[in-house]
Amino acid sequence: MNEKSPIDDVEPWRSIYLRLNSVLEWERKYDPMIIFTFVTLIFTWIPFLKLSVLTIVSSLIFLGVIIENVLPIVWIWIFRNEQITTSDELKLNRFYQRWTFVKETVIKQNQCLQSFRQEKPTEYFVLGVIFLLIFAIYGQMIDNSLLSYYSILVVLLIPGIHHQQLFSKIFQIIRCEFRRFFY
């Protein structure tokens, strides 16, 4: 029996995922600047337009619907002669595996939290209150749009940081400096 691959479900999005993945993984030197510029422009225009929260949420939902329905059709029309190579298939497969890993991790963390909530409700309540108080204090000290800006920027830059193995390079430099300073 011919089983359908999960990658076949994303057929209209294949080229879009490949381009998005190449930007998120920083395959070119200027990709981090593209991400930074895109996020900065969006967060610069939001206060300039003076939109209410409801208008922003409605606009984001509307934009999401338009992207979901129109972008694959337009993309295929623009890039209709583009051939997917074996390396592109491998990149798409890696992208799908990472997405599946993130999804499964979120589900497992949610299940872990639910079991903690069932087994130790008092500790769950105390930790929840402390966590929410910390967020409330930081939310009061730092502007919400700035927190949102930094959060989105970090989330969009993490795949490239991970792909370029910058965490290990930074920790190696810190270790070397630590050894040099203390030994």
Question: pLDDT per residue over 140-172, tens digit each?
Answer: 888 878 888 998 999 999 888 888 888 888 888
Asked if residue 154 is part of any domain, the answer here is: yes
Asked if residue 126 is part of any domain, the answer here is: yes
Cβ atoms of 150 and 39 closer than 8 Å: no
Asked if residue 73 is part of any domain, the answer here is: no
Asked if residue 121 is part of any domain, the answer here is: yes
Asked if residue 168 is part of any domain, the answer here is: yes
Task: Please tell me the total count of domains within the chain.
Answer: 1
Question: pLDDT per residue over 14-27, tens digit each?
Answer: 777 788 888 888 88
Asked if residue 36 is part of any domain, the answer here is: yes
Q: Which domain holds residue 106?
A: 6-50+83-182
Taking the whole predicted model, whether its pTM rises above 0.85 is answered as no
In this prediction, residue 1 carries a pLDDT of 47
Flag whether pLDDT at 129 surpasses 60.
yes
Q: Mean pLDDT, the chain, as a whole number?
A: 83
